[in-house]
């Protein structure tokens, strides 16, 4: 979990906190960034907490450059037990919402998309937390909904290395909200940025450690360890790296090839063992038949 003073935040998937890689905090202690692994089809939530709450807090979530509501927290003296918020999606009514979900980013080579503006916030989730003063309440009124384009197309050269994006899932029930509270923000006290990529891509770029090899993958791992440091691809630089995608794909194909080769070898050995057993049984049967035949042969040359 990323931490800035009394504030902490993380991204959860399947109810568990995602592992954070390449964590970096600013010198002033107000910004934290990291990389997290995304998985297509998986829903996620943004979780944040203030351990002290001397002052009220409000937040805003920016997903792929699209602003969404991030909820608020009261001072400890006002709400002693509520010290965290978990935002699972975008509210569509007082009792329903559409959950956040990782999806494939559609890439195209069509020229009409080449000069389109691509958000600098693509493939990242940003949580901005403010000190805030809580005002009065008012009846719930549906606010303007953020728009998540589906499908979202970008040119393959516009944002290299991006394979996933966020979309909204099907509408589901949420805890009913009958009122809204007026919130007056004072100042930004913390910004958390989670850059997401497929785990294979994070490993290929050296951001996430390689998967610990077991059994059949040991040989592949030993080969990968021989790669020179100069061949490690940098995903953190300002210049996008398309080669990272190819490297991750090559790595996956190599591992698949090693697994298939070992599977084929085991199959051949099993067939050979079965053939050996059949041959042994055949020879034993022939030997048995010969013994039986020798016991039943009559000697017609002897005289009575």
- Distance of alpha carbon 137 from alpha carbon 131, whole angstroms: 19
Q: Which pLDDT score is estimated for 94? A: 84
Quick one: what percent of the chain has pLDDT higher than 90? 41
Mean pLDDT of 181-204: 93
pLDDT band at 16; cut points 50, 70, 90: very high
Question: Tell me, what's the pLDDT at 240?
Answer: 43
> Is 233:249 a contact under the CB 8 Å cutoff?
no
CA separation for the pair 203, 144 (Å, rounded): 39
Give percent above pLDDT 70 in the chain: 76
Question: Measured over all CA atoms, what is the biggest interatomic distance in the chain, rounded to whole angstroms?
Answer: 129
How many whole angstroms separate alpha carbon 174 and alpha carbon 178? 12
Residue 253 confidence (pLDDT): 73
pLDDT at 98 over 70: yes
Q: Are 184 and 135 within 8 A, CB to CB?
A: yes
Summarize the confidence of residues 205-228 as an average pLDDT. Answer: 66
Mean pLDDT of 185-197: 96
According to DSSP, residue 238 is labeled S
More confident: 252 or 195: 195
Best-predicted range by mean pLDDT (57-66, 213-222, 280-289): 57-66
pLDDT on residue 151: 59
Q: Is the pLDDT of residue 28 over 90?
A: yes
Average pLDDT over the chain, rounded to whole?
Answer: 81
- Predicted pLDDT of residue 289: 67
Q: Is the pLDDT of residue 6 over 90?
A: yes
Lowest mean pLDDT, pick from 64-78, 108-122, 123-137, 236-250: 236-250
Nearest to 9 by CA among 59, 78, 77, 55: 59
pTM of structure: 0.69
Q: Which residues contact 256 (CB under 8 A, 6 or more apart)?
A: none
pLDDT for the residue numbered 230: 43
Stretch 242-246: mean pLDDT: 54
Residue 3 has pLDDT above 90, yes or no: yes
């Amino acid at each position: 979990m990323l931490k800035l003073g009394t504030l902490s935040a993380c991204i959860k998937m399947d109810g568990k906190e995602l592992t954070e890689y390449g964590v970096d905090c600013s010198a002033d202690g107000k910004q934290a960034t990291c990389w997290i692994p995304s998985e297509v089809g998986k829903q996620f939530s943004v979780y944040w907490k203030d351990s002290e709450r001397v002052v009220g807090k409000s937040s805003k979530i920016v997903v792929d450059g699209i602003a969404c509501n991030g909820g608020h927290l009261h001072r400890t003296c006002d709400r002693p037990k509520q010290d965290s918020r978990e935002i699972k999606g975008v509210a569509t009514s007082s009792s329903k919402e559409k959950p956040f979900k990782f999806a494939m980013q559609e890439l195209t080579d069509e020229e009409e998309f080449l000069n389109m503006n691509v958000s600098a916030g693509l493939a990242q989730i940003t949580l901005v937390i403010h000190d805030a003063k809580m005002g009065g309440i008012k009846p719930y009124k549906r606010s303007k909904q953020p728009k998540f384009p589906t499908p979202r197309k970008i040119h393959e050269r516009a944002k290299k290395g991006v394979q996933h994006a966020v979309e909204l899932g099907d509408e589901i029930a949420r805890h009913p909200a009958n009122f809204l509270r007026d919130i007056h923000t004072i100042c930004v006290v913390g910004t958390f940025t989670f850059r997401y990529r497929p785990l294979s891509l994070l490993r290929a770029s050296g951001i996430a450690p390689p998967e610990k090899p077991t059994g059949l993958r040991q040989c592949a791992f030993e080969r990968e360890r021989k790669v020179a440091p100069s061949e490690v691809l940098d995903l953190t630089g300002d210049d996008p790296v398309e080669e990272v995608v190819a490297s991750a794909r090559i790595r996956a194909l190599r591992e698949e090839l090693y697994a298939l080769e070992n599977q084929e070898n085991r199959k051949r050995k099993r067939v050979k063992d079965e053939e050996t057993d059949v041959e042994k049984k055949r020879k034993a049967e022939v030997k048995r038949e010969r013994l039986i035949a020798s016991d039943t042969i009559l000697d017609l040359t002897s005289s009575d």
